[in-house]
Amino acid sequence: MKTNLNRIVAVVLFLVACSSFSVSVSAQTAAPKAQAEERAKSMTAQMQKKLALADAQYQPVYDINLKYAKVNEQILKGTDGKIAKFKKLRSTQQSKSKELQAVLTKDQFILYEVWSKEVKEKLKENYKNKAK
């Protein structure tokens, strides 16, 4: 049971990281909309570097990132339990990947998947180290 809970927490952390990727949270007085926009800008900038986005891809990728940053923010602020939140976040991450796949080239999408997997592994490792 503890292993399943650890997995759930690790995956939830991964999904949150996918929507925010190392963005520091703005001051607590900042509006939630601004926080989602900052996360989307940061995520898109990182994707631009890692995936070599073309100029024409930047805005559609930003729009997708913003959409899911807002959705994930609402899920995390919700009153659902951890498992319900995890399921919703996993579902939104899958939807986001499908939308990105339509915008990215095949090679870019492969790089995106590898990058996402690396982030997930880092978060799992960090979680395990904190649990010790």
The pLDDT tens digits for 24-64 are 344 444 556 689 999 999 999 999 999 999 999 999 999 99
State the Cα–Cα distance between residues 25 and 34, nearest whole angstrom. Answer: 10
For residues 123 and 13, is the Cβ–Cβ distance under 8 A? Answer: yes
- pLDDT tens digit string along 68-80? 999 999 998 999 9
- Rounded-to-10 torsion of CA 55, 57, 63, 67: -140
Q: What is the pLDDT of residue 13?
A: 52
Q: What global pTM score does this model have?
A: 0.73
Q: Where are the domains of the chain?
A: 2-14+30-131
